[in-house]
Structure 1
Amino acid sequence: MKASKSISPFRLSSLLRIQKDPALALQLFQNPNPDSNPQPQKPFRYSLLSYDLIISKLGRAKMFDQLEQILHQMKQETRFAPPEIIFCNVMSYYGRARLADRALQVFDEMPSFRCQRTIKSFNSLLNALFKCGKFEKMKKVLEGIEDYGTPDACTYNILIKAFCGSEDLDNARKVFDEMRSNGLQPSDVTLGTLVHKLCSDSRVKEALELKEDWERVRGVLPNGFVYASLMKGLCGIGEMALAFGLKDEMVRKNIRLDAAVYSTLISALLKAGRRGEVPGLLKEMSEYGCEPNTVTYNAMIHGYCKEKDFEAAYRVLDEMVEKGCRPDAISYNVIIDALCKGGKWSEANLFFQDLPRRGCHPDVLSYRMLFSGLCDCGQFKEAAFVLDEMIFKGCAPHYARTHKLVEGLCQEGNMELVGTVLSSLEKANVLHGDTWRMVISTLCKEKPSDVSELIDTLAMQ
């Protein structure tokens, strides 16, 4: 019988590239020639590309134990030294998975792979630590930055994001100024990060000055994200005219308007009670070839619900489906919440029950909103049914609401249902001691004979 042709290192790389299943790719990498001649052969000569491909697949799939096995195997290679980019990628995978210590370990072990560390791998480590929220570790790592090179634009961008993420905007501005004084050009990402944070902190005037300085001194146009952040900030402080002025400025400067810009303005119009201007803005969107997305529609749904115009909100849902824009949980939760707060608990319950038919499965927030709404409306029996389904689906209710439910049932004298609810809460390990003491206290005052009966009921359940 003729033996099958052996897979070459080049062929292995090709097969790894097209294999989408990381587990099968790993199996192929570990045993590229399972049907070859059983006689002793030379070790398979893996190429650097094969290592790069399998590391990437395992990293994206978060198969980190297997990834480290491959790294250990690669360390034994004598034919080549792995390039720095491979370790940068590995640290990035660990950063996304919030595995800060593993990212640090990879960086520390790079010399044992005969790979020199430069500012590029240092930046990868810094960014991984930032994504893990390890700001103190970032500061410690920064103390040795001179060993790896001079900080570049990427280094400063990461630091600015880190300071903004840790609510230290003043230091973020200092880093931004230092970056420019060192002759490094901030990117749109840098500017966008600072502008967004300034606007979030209601320092919109500073954000506008920064944007204008960027254009005047650097001669560079801010991108759509910068404009969207500024418009949102301006709308938040009631400066609608300035926000629309920025939108017109984008048109004049031929900067592409996206759905985020229009969604911000539509939301602001509805909050300001200027509902009649929304259709014109939607028409303008269409003229510029910008289709409304889920965020746009959700802004409209939220605005109509604020006005208690639920029919308009339902029409928006129907329009989303007609235009191929799938509603998400937020689309439905906004309506459920508004119906409950408007006292329309029955309509909210029916709408909730209709969600599976609409292709949406309720999330934790959906359950909590309906449960809270039913409790607030005094519909404790209905709330108890929703609670039972919540617990079955693994959705933990808030203590304050379950306490209110039990208290309401006690006041109604429905002790049988109280026992069922307490049993469900106990099984889910969310029965608070205060709730139990409240039930016992109520029974002792009003129906002492029911105390032992309730305890017996709970014991049986």
Structure 2
Amino acid sequence: MSRGARPPLVRALRPLSARLWPPRRRLCGGHGGNGGEGGGSGRKYEGEVIVEGEEEVGFDASRVPQEVLLGLPSSGRPEADDDDGEKFSSGPEHGSGRRFFEELSLEADRIFKILLQDGPGFNTRKALDEMRPRLSNALVREVLLKIVVSIDSVNRARYPKLAYKFFLWAEQQEGYRHNTSMYNLVMKVFAECGELKAMWRLLEEMTDKGLPVSARTFHLLVCTSGKGGLRRRLVERFIKSSNFNYRPFRNSFNAILHILLTIEQYSLIEWVHEKMIAEGHSPDVLTYNVVMRAKYMLGKLDHFHKLLDEMGRNGLAPDLHTYNLLLHVLGKGDKPLAALNLLNYMSDVGCVPNVLHFTNLIDGLSRAGNLEACKYFFDEMVKKGCEPDVVCYTVMITGYVSAGEIDEAHKFFDEMLLRGQLPNVYTYNSMICGLCIVGKVDEACSLLKEMDLHGCTPNFSVYSNLVSRLRNAGKDSEANNVINYMTMS
């Protein structure tokens, strides 16, 4: 078949799907793998630390989280109002635009100071009336954002009342009406302060007023509805709601599925998918990507396999994110030959693999312990003209550190710097852990300082590992310095 020719999708995908889990074969000899587990081990990501139960899982604490590598695109948002505008203040930096934002911020500061005076003997509403601010969505958003970013353990009982008092006052001003994003921002204040009942009252108010309920609204509510049963009822309500602003209905389901993926609610994704099919809505590529990701994380590889076949039968072509997921699964299952077949197939159908595809494959192989295959695909990537980026180098470095091959990890670290790629927090965390392994604690301390100079914050695992190694080496003074450095960071 000539390069770029596209075979019939169903015929091409079926043998590809069948090759996902062939008998175990090695592209290269050497390191043993851990087999093709599907991520159903109960691991979860907290920041950059992978947690299993209450224990950190070896050097996975320094790995780039899989969700960073396999992140799916947003579900699309037909309504621009889906954004709460949390970055609203980062507007133009010059000319009239800059002056506008400066004036907006000053006016919001004055309102915020009035709100902070609220209490016995002070009439907040009267003070706001006398100030007579020029109300707009931009100003109300700026005030609410100032409240959101100022919430702490001391004021979390007080700030929801201030936010809602201002919210009610603003709504009563002539010529001004709240939109969905204003409601979302007040919900965010309530969410940060644990005011769950107040969030639901706002949702009822939005529904009564006929305002569109956005994916952001759903995200805020589902993240604070901790119990599975409550989350399911919430999902069902949004599916049925005529106000949920994603139409046609398939987009509503996709928005919900995507949000559930971001908070790792894999079982709930299965339930929503079943509901979607039962109601007669056809999945698209995004639907399949999210559900396959959930099946993989739940360890249901047979379901994963069936969904891939079904996707082909329905005439849907894999996209960038489908291939990323497939390559990662093949890598983590230690199937380098099947991965090579997939890379060739991608080129045949006109989807030339890029650095992200190779990085996902290398990350999977690294987690399986097959470092020789990692090196093979890294070299192949460079031969094909793909320039490795900081994430790709970090995946390689972490793989070698996890295997105890610190010298090899250091070579990639040095090469990365020579190529002008600046290390990120995961790169530094991994290198510091590796240096601690071989007892080079002084070098690890130097790297910790360098990390700080580059604006990277180490995770707790790095600090505790470094402190432990220093103490074991009898360097209590240096260990105390690291502890003081950590508490001051």
Whether 1:401 and 2:465 are equivalent positions in the alignment is yes
Quick one: which amino acid aligns to residue 114 of structure 1?
E
Whether 1:358 and 2:358 are equivalent positions in the alignment is no
Partner of 2:95: 24
How far has the Cα of 1:356 moved from its partner? Answer: 0.9
Which whole-Å CA distance do the structure 2 matches of 1:325 and 1:225 have between them?
Answer: 26
Quick one: which amino acid aligns to residue 389 of structure 1?
L
Which whole-Å CA distance do the structure 1 matches of 2:130 and 2:384 have between them?
Answer: 56
Partner of 2:272: 210
Q: Please, what TM-score do these two structures have when normalized by structure 2? A: 0.59
Partner of 2:432: 371
Partner of 2:236: 177
Assess if the C-alpha contact under 8 Å between 2:218 and 2:238 holds in 1: no
Whether 1:343 and 2:389 are equivalent positions in the alignment is no
Which whole-Å CA distance do the structure 1 matches of 2:166 and 2:197 have between them?
Answer: 18
Counterpart selection for 1:136 from 149, 169, 194? 194
C-alpha distance after superposition, 1:133-153 (max 9, x if no partner): 526346325436666662658
Which whole-Å CA distance do the structure 2 matches of 1:193 and 1:345 have between them?
Answer: 43
Partner of 2:254: 192
Whether 1:331 and 2:369 are equivalent positions in the alignment is no
Alignment of 1:252-267 (within 5 A): 252-255=313-316, 257-267=318-328
Q: 1:143 to 1:402 in 2, by over 3 A?
A: same
Whether 1:64 and 2:105 are equivalent positions in the alignment is yes
Counterpart selection for 1:110 from 141, 149, 170? 170
How far has the Cα of 1:325 moved from its partner? Answer: 5.3
How far has the Cα of 1:267 moved from its partner? Answer: 1.5
Q: Please, what TM-score do these two structures have when normalized by structure 1? A: 0.62
Assess if the C-alpha contact under 8 Å between 1:336 and 1:366 holds in 2: yes
Counterpart selection for 2:443 from 369, 381, 385? 385
Partner of 1:425: 482
Assess if the C-alpha contact under 8 Å between 2:390 and 2:416 holds in 1: no
The runs of 5 or more residues in structure 1 that have no matched partner are 1-19, 30-53, 411-417, 432-461
Partner of 1:38: none
Partner of 2:220: 162
* SS of match in other structure, 1:200: coil
Which whole-Å CA distance do the structure 2 matches of 1:258 and 1:357 have between them?
Answer: 33
Whether 1:279 and 2:337 are equivalent positions in the alignment is no
Assess if the C-alpha contact under 8 Å between 1:160 and 1:190 holds in 2: no
Quick one: which amino acid aligns to residue 406 of structure 1?
L
Assess if the C-alpha contact under 8 Å between 1:159 and 1:175 holds in 2: no
Assess if the C-alpha contact under 8 Å between 1:321 and 1:327 holds in 2: yes
Assess if the C-alpha contact under 8 Å between 2:257 and 2:269 holds in 1: yes
Quick one: which amino acid aligns to residue 93 of structure 2?
P
Q: 1:259 to 1:106 in 2, by over 3 A?
A: farther
Partner of 2:72: none
The runs of 5 or more residues in structure 2 that have no matched partner are 1-90, 115-128, 152-158
Counterpart selection for 2:295 from 222, 234, 242? 234
How far has the Cα of 1:96 moved from its partner? Answer: 9.1
Q: 1:169 to 1:128 in 2, by over 3 A?
A: farther
Assess if the C-alpha contact under 8 Å between 1:399 and 1:430 holds in 2: no
Which whole-Å CA distance do the structure 1 matches of 2:188 and 2:385 have between them?
Answer: 37
How far has the Cα of 1:403 moved from its partner? Answer: 3.0
Identity of aligned residues (%): 17
How far has the Cα of 1:430 moved from its partner? Answer: 5.9
Q: 1:323 to 1:149 in 2, by over 3 A?
A: same
* SS of match in other structure, 1:355: helix
More helix by share: 1
Structure 1 vs Structure 2 CA RMSD: 4.5
Which whole-Å CA distance do the structure 1 matches of 2:211 and 2:308 have between them?
Answer: 29
Quick one: which amino acid aligns to residue 408 of structure 2?
E
How far has the Cα of 1:109 moved from its partner? Answer: 4.4
Assess if the C-alpha contact under 8 Å between 2:333 and 2:364 holds in 1: no
C-alpha distance after superposition, 1:185-229 (max 9, x if no partner): 6735642354453893452xx644532432442x43334332112
Quick one: which amino acid aligns to residue 331 of structure 1?
C
Q: 1:423 to 1:216 in 2, by over 3 A?
A: closer
Partner of 2:331: 270
Assess if the C-alpha contact under 8 Å between 1:98 and 1:132 holds in 2: no
How far has the Cα of 1:231 moved from its partner? Answer: 0.7
Which whole-Å CA distance do the structure 2 matches of 1:214 and 1:256 have between them?
Answer: 20
**Bigger shift: residues 234-243 or 321-330:** 321-330
How far has the Cα of 1:158 moved from its partner? Answer: 4.3
